[in-house]
Chains A and B, each alone.
Chain A
Amino acid sequence: MSRFAIRFLIVAAILVAVVGTSLFAVDETQIAVVTKFGRPIKVIQEPGLHVKLPSPFASVLRFDKRIMVYEPLPSEFLTEDKKNILTQTFACWRIRDVQKFLETVKTREGAELRIGDTIRSELGSSLGMMPLTALVSTNPELVKLDEIMGRVTANSAEKTLRNYGIELVSVSLKRINFPDQNKASVYERMRSERARIAKKYRAEGNEQAAMITAETDKEVSRILSEAYRTAEKVKGEGDAEAAKIYAEAYNRDPQFYKKLRTLEAYRKFLDEKTTVVLSTDSELLQFLAEGIGQ
Chain B
Amino acid sequence: MSFGKAEKATLIAIAVGAVLLAIKCVLVVYTGSLAIKADAWHSVGDILISVLVLIGVILSRKGWRLAAIIENIIALIISGSIFLAAYFLARESLTRGSAAELRNIPIGLAGIVVCALIARALGHYKIRVGREENSVGVLADGHHSIMDFYTTIVAGIGLMGQMIGLKLDSLASIVVVVFVVQIGVKIAVIAIQGLLRDQSFSAVGRSRILVLLTDKPLKLTKDLIKWATGREISISFKPLGDWLRVHRKTPVSAAIILFVGAYLFSGFYTVEAQSSAIVTVFGKAKVDPTGPGLHYAPPYPVGRVYKVETNLVRRAELGFKTNFDKKTDWRRNGLAPFEWHSAHTTGYYKKNFDEAIMLTGDENMIDVNAVVHYKIADPHIFLFGLDNQEALVKNFAENVLRLSMGRTSINEILSEKRKVIQKKTTQLLQKNLDAVGAGVEIIGIELQDVHPPVSVVRSFRDVATAKEEKALTVNNAVAEQNEKIPQARADAVSTERSAEAYKDKKMQEALGQSDRFRLLFEQYRLAKEVTAHRLYLELIEKALSGKRKFIVSPGVPPKALDLRFLPTTGSSGGEGK
Contacts and interface: CB of A to CB of B under 8 A. Distances in A.
Interface of A: 25-30, 46-49, 64, 66-69, 71, 90, 92, 132, 135-140, 143, 145, 169-170, 172-178, 183, 186-187, 190-191, 193-195, 197-202, 204-206, 208-213, 215-217, 219-221, 223-224, 226-228, 230-235, 237-239, 241-246, 248-250, 252-253, 256-257, 259-260, 263-264, 266-267, 270, 272, 274-285, 288-289
B472 interface: yes
Contact of A263 (B407, B459, B521, B535): B535
Contact of A212 (B359, B481, B547): B481
Interface stretch (B12-20, B135-143, B240-248, B550-558): B550-558
B357 interface: yes
A241 B503 contact: yes
A190 B469 contact: no
A83 to B, nearest CB: 9
Contacts of A241: 503, 506-507, 510
A47 B469 CA distance: 72
Rank and list the top 8 A-B pairs by shortest CB-CB distance, nearest first.
A238-B503, A227-B492, A249-B514, A231-B499, A205-B470, A242-B510, A198-B466, A209-B477
A246 B513 contact: yes
Contact of A284 (B500, B509, B520, B540): B540
A174 to B, nearest CB: 5
Contacts of B396: 172
Interface string B291-308: 000000000000000000
Range for the number of chain B residues in contact with chain A: 35 or more
A71 B354 CA distance: 14
Contacts of B469: 201-202, 205
A249 B456 CA distance: 89
Contact of B407 (A26, A138, A282, A284): A138
Interface of B: 280-285, 354-355, 357-365, 383-388, 391-392, 395-396, 398-399, 402-403, 406-410, 432, 435-438, 452-453, 455-456, 459-460, 462-463, 465-467, 469-474, 476-478, 480-481, 484-485, 487-489, 491-493, 495-496, 498-500, 502-507, 509-511, 513-515, 517-518, 520-521, 524-525, 532, 535-536, 539-540, 542-544, 546-554, 565, 567, 572-577
A267 B541 CA distance: 9
A235 B87 CA distance: 115
A201 B470 contact: yes
Nearest to B397: A174
Contact of A186 (B364, B432, B500): B364
Nearest to A205: B470
Given A231-B495, A284-B573, A223 B384 contact: no
9 contacts: A25-B282, A67-B386, A212-B478, A216-B484, A223-B492, A238-B503, A263-B540, A266-B539, A279-B552
Given A260-B517, A267-B543, A270-B543, A132 B363 contact: yes
Nearest to B567: A277
B513 A68 contact: no
Contact of B387 (A68, A140, A177, A252): A68
B284 A48 contact: yes
Contacts of B384: 28-29, 66
Contacts of B432: 170, 172
Contacts of A132: 363
A204 B551 CA distance: 85
Contact of A275 (B391, B502, B532, B547): B547
Contacts of B456: 187, 190-191, 194
A223 B399 contact: no
A194 B108 CA distance: 68
Nearest to B355: A175
A184 B105 CA distance: 57
Given A215-B481, A284-B573, A26 B540 contact: no
